[in-house]
Structures are given as C-alpha cells and as structure tokens.
C-alpha cells in the first residue's frame, strides 16, 4: 500500500504496504472537524454544484450523500490483496485520528472515497482518497468537514459562498464521437457466443461479459458536467466520482450503518421504450422471464452466501421486484442483515467479501472470473469493482461501478465507457449487444449538451 499526501504522477507501482508518510515511520494522523451548516438547496445536484473542476469526489443519491475536494492522503494498492492492504491502512489511520464531530451522522468525521479494480490482474491501482473538505447532506441536515494532518496548521472551515464564487464555470464537452474499444460489435457477439458454449458444456452456470467504447469530445471533459446530468436524470442511482471513475450505479453492493447491512442486487434487464403502457407490459414480461429469473437467482444467492459468515441474521426476499430506471428495467432484490459483532466486519471488509458477485462476474465465481480474463480481451480496470466511501467508524456505502466510465489521464478529451450483460444458456448474442447499448445510454446522455434528458 502506498500512502501519498499529494496527487501522484504515474509510477511503476510495487506491492509494499505501509500507512506512513513517505520517508517517515510515523503513522498518518488525521485531524477532522465536522460542523452543521445551513442548507444549500433542494436540487438533486445541490451537493455537486459545490465541486471544483479538478479531482472532484462524489457519492450522491436523491440529492443526499457526500462530496469532497482536495487531498490529504491517497492509499494505493494492486494485486490479490488490494482490499486487505486498504483495510489495514485505513484501520491504522482511523485509530490515530483526532475527531471533533458535532453532527454525528453517517458520513461525518473523516472519510475516505474509494474505487477498486475489478480483477487482481488489472494494471490500474485501487485507491482510497482522503479529501481536505467534505460537504454532506442527510435529510434536512447539512454538514461541513475539514480534514488535515497533525503536523499541518489548523485549518478553519471554508466559507462555501466564497468557494462557489471562486469556481470555474461548468463546461460542456461539445460533440462526442464514439468508437469501439477492445473489440468490434461483431467480435463482442462472438465473445458472448463462446460464453454460451461454456455454459452449455457445463463449465459455468452464468458469466457476465462486458465491452468498452471510447468517446472523444470536442472540448476537454469536465467531470462536473457528467455528475450534474447523472444526478438529475438518474436520481434513484448513486452518482459517483472517485479518481478517474465516474458514473451512476443502480446497484448497492453493501451499506453498513450501526450494525445493519443492506445490499441491492440487480440481475435481469430489459430495455425501456419510453411509452408507459408498453413499459408496464415489458415489466410484467421481465418479472416472469425464466432466463432473467435464473440470472437473478444466481446473483442473490452469491450475495447471501458471502454475507452469511459475517451476520447474525439475514433476510432474503422470496421474489424480486422490478426497478424502473429511465433507460432500463431491472429485476431487483434488497437483501438485509445484522452484523455479528464478533465478526468485526466493516463496510469495506464486507465489500471485499462480496466482490465479485454473480451479478458482475458469474457462477461459479472463480471459474467465471478466469473465463472473463480469457474471453473479454480487455482490462476492466475499475469498472464493476466496488466504489464508494467509508468513515472512521468503519460504516460506509459501496456500490458496484456500473453505468460508468473512466477518464483518460493521457487525454482530457477522451473517456472510456463500459457496459456488460449476464449470460446464461438461453442468452442471445444480438439481444445482449442491444442490452449493452441501453446500459451505455446514461453516460452518453451525461456527456451530451442537452444534459437534462434521461434519454
């Protein structure tokens, strides 16, 4: 684990783990103060409207959540033990933190935003980022947290009116051209066909296969443009920005709050038409589709099996409900549990235990993960990996990085978009490709000039 106190340049990352300032042997000690502040508005994007252009951090749903900027420290890790090193480093930091929290809600006090690689084989590092400033909202309560280190001068709380007045205006990327990423549409449908063959041969029960495409914008891409559009158009999703990852995920991998655990499982999808009557009929078809119900059952079972060792009780719905999003309909199940106090689990350790679920990998997990590496022909990077935040008490929220894209550090005009589908024996490659088009729509819409339409 590497710990940095400034934004790093690209380096050849080793696998050492430590929780110290570079060049010292002293543990990183955070100093955090949280105070209540006046409400900043009711808009779904009210929090996002506070963000600077450079390296914004966000986790927002229905106008609630947290945003941050600045960087006190960055923890990076790669490889099979990337979660363990992040957990160990954050545990050391939170044990030494000096905290004055006058609000006492989830997301107050020191927090770290994180995004993790889907596979241990990815070349992209998983990161936890501790911001210098966090603004949060829950219900009618708003708060402001400033975070420094013990060897820095005391930082006074910034005036948010001054912050907003000094922000650069949000800019549009202008026209965006899209091109295939790692493979052409025809090649990807061949990949799906190979996945179906593996299932029919009895080697897998289910596999999730993804593809990417590259967007090239006329103007440099302003992340805030995407975030504002996603927050307004997809209020039921968790809009996020961490490091180079940005998106609006409909799938909550895990939330922990004072001993309670929640996980929203999505698997089984059908496109919306935009006509309410037709979409109601399509929802009924989805709810009774044997192919989609089979896919969903694998996903729910994988989540329940992963949570069970850490929980004293577990509630798994008998049947899914249909989640209506602007672009698609999903089969969804909300799994709830109570943490076993003896297990000592945190939100991030549960995210580690759950990842990858059958909803983004397949069944059996190990075999599906290996088949993904063999068949997809691309590095997923942090697509479909855990993304979210955790606090000093270990509670937090982690989504699955879906409906997402990765900004290209080498070119501010370029962005890499992702979409994937669950494949079972009854899948059809052409239909699965059409599903990826629907799942790419949120990011296409977010990049567009007419940003307020869900498309």
**Which pairs from 199-203 meet CB under 8 Å and 24+ separation?**
199/423, 199/424, 199/425, 200/425, 203/367, 203/371
pLDDT of residue 219: 97
Q: Which of 71, 76, 206, 376 is catalytic?
A: 206
Closest among 421, 337, 425 to 384, alpha carbons compared? 421
Is the distance from CB of 271 to CB of 302 less than 8 angstroms?
no
2-447, what's its fold?
Answer: Anthranilate synthase (3.60.120)
Exposure of 362 by Cβ count < 10 A (0-12 exposed, 13-18 middle, 19+ buried)? buried
Q: What is the DSSP string of 198-213?
A: HHHTTS-SEEEEEEEE
2 classed as catalytic: no
DSSP H helices in 288-357: 290-307, 347-354
Is the distance from CB of 71 to CB of 132 less than 8 angstroms?
yes
pLDDT at 51 over 90: yes
206 classed as catalytic: yes
Q: Which of 71, 251, 297, 432 is catalytic?
A: 251
Is the distance from CB of 388 to CB of 59 less than 8 angstroms?
yes
pLDDT at 76 over 50: yes
pLDDT of residue 205: 95
Q: What is the DSSP string of 75-144?
A: EEE-STTHHHHHHHHHHHHHHH-EEEESS-STT-SSEEEEE--SSTT-SSPEEEEE-SEEEEEETTEEEE
Summarised one tens digit per residue, pLDDT across range 300-355 is 999 999 999 999 999 999 999 999 999 899 999 999 999 998 888 999 999 999 99
Q: Which residue has the tokens 């949000």?
A: 170
Summarised one tens digit per residue, pLDDT across range 121-174 is 998 999 999 999 999 999 999 999 999 998 886 767 889 999 999 999 999 999
Phi, psi of 92 (to 5 degrees): -65, -40
Which range has the worst mean pLDDT, 80-84, 339-343, 437-441? 339-343
Task: Give every CB contact of residue 234 below 8 A, 6+ residues apart in sequence.
Answer: 248, 250, 325, 326, 403, 442, 454
Respond yes or no on whether the N-terminal peptide bond of residue 320 is cis (omega within 30° of 0): no
d(CA 446, CA 226): 5
d(CA 342, CA 339): 9
pLDDT at 367 over 80: yes
Model confidence at 2, in pLDDT bands (50, 70, 90)?
very low
pLDDT at 13 over 50: no
Mean of all residue pLDDT scores within the chain = 91
pLDDT at 453 over 90: no
| Domain ranges (residues) in the chain | 2-447
pLDDT of residue 26: 56
pLDDT at 91 over 80: yes
Per the DSSP assignment, residues forming a β-bridge with 423 are 207
Per the DSSP assignment, residues forming a β-bridge with 17 are none
d(CA 336, CA 252): 12
pLDDT of residue 449: 78
To the nearest whole percent, how much of the chain has pLDDT over 70? 92
What tokens does 146 get?
């400033």
Is the distance from CB of 230 to CB of 436 less than 8 angstroms?
no
Is the distance from CB of 337 to CB of 306 less than 8 angstroms?
no
């Amino acid at each position: 684990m590497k710990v940095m106190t400034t934004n790093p340049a690209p380096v050849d990352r080793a696998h050492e783990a430590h929780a110290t300032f570079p060049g010292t042997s002293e543990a990183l000690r955070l100093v955090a103060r949280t105070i209540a502040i006046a409400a900043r508005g009711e808009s779904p994007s009210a929090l996002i409207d506070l963000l600077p252009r450079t390296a914004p951090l966000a986790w927002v749903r229905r106008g609630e959540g947290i945003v941050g900027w600045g960087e006190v420290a960055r923890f990076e890790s790669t490889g099979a033990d990337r979660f363990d090193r992040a957990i160990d480093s954050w545990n050391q930091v939170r044990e030494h933190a000096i905290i004055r929290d006058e609000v006492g809600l989830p997301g107050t006090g020191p927090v770290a935003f994180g995004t993790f690689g889907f596979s241990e084989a990815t070349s992209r590092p998983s990161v936890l980022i501790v911001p210098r400033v966090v603004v949060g909202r829950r219900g009618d309560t708003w708060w402001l947290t400033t975070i420094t280190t013990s060897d820095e001068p005391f930082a006074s709380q910034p005036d948010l009116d001054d912050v907003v007045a000094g922000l650069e205006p949000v800019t549009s990327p202008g026209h965006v051209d899209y091109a295939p990423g790692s493979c052409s549409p025809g090649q990807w449908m061949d990949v799906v066909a190979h996945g179906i063959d593996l299932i029919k041969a009895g080697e897998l029960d289910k596999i999730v296969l993804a593809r990417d495409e590259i967007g090239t914008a006329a103007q440099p891409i302003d992340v805030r443009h995407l975030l504002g559009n996603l927050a307004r158009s997809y209020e039921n999703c968790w809009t996020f920005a961490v490091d180079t990852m940005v998106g609006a995920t409909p799938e909550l991998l895990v939330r922990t709050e004072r001993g309670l655990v929640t996980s929203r499982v999505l698997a089984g999808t059908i496109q919306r038409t935009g006509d309410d009557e037709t979409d109601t009929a399509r929802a009924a078809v989805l709810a009774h589709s044997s192919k989609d119900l089979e896919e969903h059952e694998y996903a729910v079972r994988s989540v329940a099996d992963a949570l069970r060792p850490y929980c004293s009780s577990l509630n798994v719905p008998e049947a899914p409900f249909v989640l209506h999003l602007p672009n698609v309909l999903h089969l969804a199940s909300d799994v709830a549990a109570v943490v076993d106090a003896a297990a000592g689990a945190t939100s991030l350790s549960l995210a580690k235990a759950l990842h990858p679920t059958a909803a983004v990998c397949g069944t059996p997990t190990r075999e599906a993960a290996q088949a993904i590496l063999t068949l997809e022909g691309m590095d997923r990077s942090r697509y479909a990996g855990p993304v979210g935040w955790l606090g000093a008490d270990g509670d937090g929220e982690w989504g699955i990085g879906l409906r997402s894209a990765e900004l290209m550090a080498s070119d501010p005009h370029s962005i890499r978009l992702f979409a994937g589908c669950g494949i079972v024996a009854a899948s059809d490659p052409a239909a699965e490709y059409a599903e990826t088009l629907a799942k790419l729509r949120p990011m296409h819409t977010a990049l567009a000039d007419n940003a307020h339409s869900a498309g």
